[in-house]
Amino acid sequence: MPDTRLCLEALSALSGCNVEPTGGASQLSPQDFVNVVALKEFYKQEGFQELEYPSLGTLSLRDLDDQDMYSSPEALTEGPSTAGPEQSLRTTMRINPEDFFHPQYDYDFTNVKDGDKTFLRGNERYVRPCGWNRVALRVTKRYDDGDTWLGTGKDAWPVSYHGQNMDGSLGIILTRGGSAADEPKFLDAAAASLVTGETRGRGVYSTPDVATAEAYCKKFKSKVNGKTYKVVLQNRINPEKRKDCQREGVWLVYIPKGHNDVQTRAIVQESIRPYGLLLKEA
């Protein structure tokens, strides 16, 4: 496993919060963490300034890294805090690394090349994150329906990657099935998008292609070693909850208008489950 401090910096970059270690109970589970990351992006797209989340309170949706997108939180350095006014606006998350990470399932894909090899998860192609170092998250035995979703069989959920900055510009939903190459269905969906909100792509985006996620990923400069990293979340996505989008290789968890915070959080929680934090030197 990479240096724990580096992993906390990566979590901080993804969430826009100060993620600090604790020897006690974690404020957030890995599922809560992906909920926060996904919901912050969704509510920001909707034009909101804040997000309320249980155990954390009010989270600002301002992008505090606009002036320096490669900065990591000062709170992760040792010694007296020198955080500026922008850093002080960040919410602090406290996690117990032993409870949050699962080193037994770490896998370093940095020098792995799959070539023509094909891998499946849930009978769908799994594009492994070659070139990335995966830090496993502790998610086994934490869901009421067991761990089948995390397996390799036909009942497992397919793999998706969350690049954080993926949003509604990626295209409308193909509500009637098919693909963008399936012209009649695509044109029907395009026409429908002019009159219905359901095809406008309102929700949380992810992709089965790690290269696509990389194009939209967050970067940060580590205060641990001075290197710049890219960071992506590796998840499993409920095949019954996702929708295909106009752009090939993009999936959407659709959130209908009129849903309140609790309903929206429930949709994300039953649709996307995280299991890996991916790091790669930029």
How does pLDDT run across 49-106, given as a tens digit for each residue? 888 999 899 888 876 554 333 344 333 333 333 444 445 578 999 999 999 999 999 9
Q: Flag whether pLDDT at 4 surpasses 90.
A: yes
* pLDDT at site 50: 87
CA distance 33 to 36: 5
What is the tens place of the pLDDT at every residue in 206-245? 999 999 999 989 999 999 999 999 999 999 999 999 998 8
226: containing domain: 4-281
Nearest to 276 by CA among 144, 145, 104: 104
Q: Flag whether pLDDT at 198 surpasses 50.
A: yes
DSSP-assigned letters across all residues of 141-202: T-STT-SGGGSSSTTSPPEEEE-SS--GGG--B-TTSS-TTSHHHHHHHHHHTTT-GGGS--
261-269 — which CB contacts under 8 Å span 24+ positions?
261/51, 261/52, 264/39, 264/42, 265/35, 265/39, 265/53, 267/203, 267/241, 268/34, 268/35, 268/38, 268/39, 268/204, 269/31, 269/35
Q: What is the pTM of this model?
A: 0.84
* pLDDT at site 76: 38
Count: domains in the chain: 1
